[in-house]
Amino acid sequence: MLDLGDLGLDEGAHLMIKRALARNGGGVVTGSAPSLPIDLPAWCRARGHACEQRGDGFAITAGPDRWRHAERAGGDAPVARPPARWGLAARGALVEAGAPELDLPLAVWADEAGRLYAQAAAAQWDPATAIPWDAPAEHPDEVEDAVVQVMTYLIENETAALLVPVRFLGKLHPQFREVMQLLAIQAADEARHIEVFTRRARLHRRELGLSTASGQASLATLFDEHDFAVAAMLLAVLGEGSFLSLLWFIRDHAPDRCTREVARLAAQDEARHVAFGLAHIAHQLTVDPPLRGRLGAAIERRHAALAHTAGLNEEVFDALVLLAAGSWEPAALRRGHAAVVALGREMDDGRRLRLGRLGFSADDAARLSSLHTRNFM
């Protein structure tokens, strides 16, 4: 027996009826709202409940439960192969049967994703206030040209680092919530890097530097990979890993405080991107051991595809030498040149170390590192 008093169905009385039906599966409903004799049978019909007017009120029997075929969309941890019928439902939600299927077939996981996302969210920085844009710059004009050339090259590479993962993100099943969040904030990181490198390039110059065909050819091959783990190996572990050394190099040799800071802050973010790439591949190797062979093959394939190109373009190489030299004095150029040669070795050391951490033998790591694109990314 449920008495609605004078509360009408157009005033929220349906909440009381739903609650009673959920508890008892049916019963007699009474009430004095004038519209009740019309509203209540119509409301019941629309929901498949039986409703019969009797002397003592409306006898209602609950119809079939629309949630009887619902299923729980995973739990605390994601399920390995979530079905398309879960659509956009939050992980852990009870999903009603019959929701539209969505084509989000990609499964990407790493246990570290949640922690790296939290770290990234806490480490976001504001380009307007984090960079000393007004810091004095007293280096020669041609060193400034070198900085502009290096920035131009960085922007191009950052653009690839933004677009390649985002294409995967658009296919990622929402079951992998933490990875989705991490890739989104990583895209925001790259957007910020593009902003600060552009702003630094244009700080004292109206025009940007050169974009070379070989540099673009190297980045274009990153768009050919359709396996997330392979893309993560090429872009994150090898490419962004090498970029970490490059950004540290710019930080350590920059002729002005502003350039130093854009490189330092970008490197902080890149370290997280590399960490996620490593974590994902390490996870994937445990569930798909043959992946190791595919990763090696992909590095060799990319090397073969780029064998006819020039590698790191002269313009970038020379700009790095001049940036590190800081002047045209022969002794300074010798120092700058030696620093760039040392940078190449440092990048190679880093790649071999990371490949080793993924379980590649020292010989394989050395060989695969040597096949990595000479364009750095």
Tell me whether residue 156 or residue 240 sits nearer to Fe ion (CB atom).
Answer: 240
Tell me which amino acid residue 16 is: M
Query: What phi and psi values does residue 61 have, to the nearest 5 degrees?
Result: -120, 125
Tell me whether residue 231 or residue 322 sits nearer to Fe ion (CB atom).
Answer: 231
Closest alpha carbon to 238 in 84, 45, 372, 361 = 372
Query: Taking CB under 5 A as the rule, does residue 192 contact Fe ion?
Result: no
Instruction: Give the angle 371-375-377 at the CA atoms, nearest 5°.
Output: 85
- Window 195-234: contact mask with Fe ion (x via CB under 5 A): ----------------------------------------
- Window 5-44: contact mask with Fe ion (x via CB under 5 A): ----------------------------------------
CA atoms within 13 A on the CB side of 316: 24
Q: How many CB atoms lie within 10 A of CB 76?
A: 6
Rg (CA), the chain: 30
Cβ at position 197, least distance to Fe ion in Å = 9
Span from 44-52, 75-83, 127-135, 237-245 in contact with Fe ion (CB under 5 A): 237-245
Tell me whether residue 144 or residue 240 sits nearer to Fe ion (CB atom).
Answer: 240
Cβ at position 162, least distance to Fe ion in Å = 8
Element (H, E) at 54: strand 50-54
Mapped onto helix, strand or coil, the DSSP state of residue 263 is helix
Mapped onto helix, strand or coil, the DSSP state of residue 51 is strand
Cβ at position 270, least distance to Fe ion in Å = 5
Tell me whether residue 233 or residue 325 sits nearer to Fe ion (CB atom).
Answer: 233
Cβ at position 263, least distance to Fe ion in Å = 11
Span from 37-45, 188-196, 207-215, 289-297 in contact with Fe ion (CB under 5 A): 188-196
User: Total residues contacting Fe ion (rule CB under 5 A)?
Assistant: 7
Residues with Cβ within 8 Å of residue 183, at least 6 apart in sequence: 165, 166, 168, 169, 172
Span from 13-21, 48-56, 88-96, 182-190 in contact with Fe ion (CB under 5 A): 182-190
Tell me whether residue 139 or residue 193 sits nearer to Fe ion (CB atom).
Answer: 193
Residues in region 147-166 near Fe ion by CB under 5 A: 158, 161
Tell me whether residue 143 or residue 161 sits nearer to Fe ion (CB atom).
Answer: 161
Among 112, 178, 240, 315, contact with Fe ion (rule: CB under 5 A): 240
Tell how far CA 280 is from the center of its chain.
Answer: 12
Tell me which amino acid residue 267 is: A
Tell me whether residue 82 or residue 165 sits nearer to Fe ion (CB atom).
Answer: 165
- Rounded to whole angstroms, the Cα distance separating 229 from 289 reads 12
Span from 95-103, 263-271, 293-301, 336-344 in contact with Fe ion (CB under 5 A): 263-271
CA distances in angstroms from 30 to 40, 44, 167, 230, listed in the order given: 10, 14, 58, 66
- Rounded to whole angstroms, the Cα distance separating 68 from 9 reads 26
CA distances in angstroms from 188 to 64, 198, 272, listed in the order given: 47, 15, 13
Cβ at position 198, least distance to Fe ion in Å = 13
Query: Taking CB under 5 A as the rule, does residue 190 contact Fe ion?
Result: yes
Cβ at position 301, least distance to Fe ion in Å = 23
Cβ at position 376, least distance to Fe ion in Å = 12
Among 139, 173, 177, 193, contact with Fe ion (rule: CB under 5 A): 193
Tell me whether residue 112 or residue 240 sits nearer to Fe ion (CB atom).
Answer: 240
Residues in region 266-295 near Fe ion by CB under 5 A: 270, 273
- Rounded to whole angstroms, the Cα distance separating 350 from 357 reads 11
- Rounded to whole angstroms, the Cα distance separating 229 from 280 reads 7
Q: How many CB atoms lie within 10 A of CB 154?
A: 26
User: Which residues are near Fe ion by CB under 5 A?
Assistant: 158, 161, 190, 193, 240, 270, 273
